[in-house]
Amino acid sequence: MTRDLRLCFVGDSFVAGIGDPEFLGWAGRLAAQSQNAGQPLTGYNLGVRRQTSADILARWEHECAQRLAEGTDRRVVLSFGVNDTTALGDGTRVPAEESPANLRKLLPVAAARGWSVLVVGPPPVADAGQNARTAALDEQFSAVCAEAGVPYVSVLPTLLASEVWMREVRVGDGAHPGAGGYQVFADLVAPRWHAWISDGGQA
């Protein structure tokens, strides 16, 4: 009998795949890879443009609960953070100490519900100052996930060095790449993704 894999991709505009003319983003590409490799899944993209970790914390559980039916293999991929580090007045949209705290609040809820979680770190944009703030957040997110025993994929350093990602971001709106950039993102996450969906959630 084929495993009934249900999976929510929860996050911001990068999860939604904004900028991709193929409307797949990195999440859609990973789901397609799994389907083509013989692991069918029911995937739900819950990416919302401009949302921060605080916005996602407020909505994610209810939205996932509507889609992750009891008796199925229930998974959640989380990815956010760039909007948290966006400059706003004298600070950022979400204070630096609150972003990891929001992730720390979220993970035990998923564990209590029996939802396996994979966290994917925030990517770089065409702003060196914001990238520095996001890099610090990336390290904090990694530490939170390590404490919780949740797999974490850091993408920022590799994407920052990716000629394809950074070129498409600069040519686009300064934040989002096109199809080529999202393919680089998906390829970067793919090894951990495939291990995670094939082994009961521990990668």
202 pLDDT tier (thresholds 50, 70, 90): very low
Q: By percentage, how much of the chain surpasses pLDDT 70?
A: 98
57-81 pLDDT, tens digit each: 999 999 999 999 999 999 999 999 9
Report the pLDDT value the prediction gives residue 47, as an integer from 0 to 100.
Answer: 98
Mean pLDDT value across the chain: 96
Report the pLDDT value the prediction gives residue 62, as an integer from 0 to 100.
Answer: 98
CATH of region 5-198: 3.40.50.1110
* Residue located via tokens 């084929």: 2
**φ and ψ at 123, to 5 degrees?**
-90, 170
Q: Is the pLDDT of residue 144 over 50?
A: yes
Report the pLDDT value the prediction gives residue 1, as an integer from 0 to 100.
Answer: 56
* Structural domain spans, the chain: 5-198
203 pLDDT tier (thresholds 50, 70, 90): very low
Task: Convert 84-122 to b/e letters by CB count within 10 Å (16 or more is b).
Answer: bbbeeeeebbbeeeebbbbbbebbeebeeeebbbbbbbb
**What value does the mean pLDDT take over residues 188-192?**
98
Q: Is the pLDDT of residue 175 over 50?
A: yes
**What value does the mean pLDDT take over residues 76-91?**
97
Q: Is the pLDDT of residue 2 over 90?
A: no
In the sheet with 116-120, reading across from the earlier edge strand, the strands are 42-47, 5-11, 73-79, 116-120, 152-153
17-59 pLDDT, tens digit each: 999 999 999 999 999 999 999 999 999 999 999 999 999 999 9
Report the pLDDT value the prediction gives residue 200, as an integer from 0 to 100.
Answer: 57
Task: Report the candidate in 68, 72, 77, 5 with the shortest Cα–Cα distance to residue 41.
Answer: 5
Q: Is the pLDDT of residue 174 over 90?
A: yes
Q: Is the pLDDT of residue 3 over 90?
A: no
Task: Report the SS3 class of residue 194.
Answer: helix
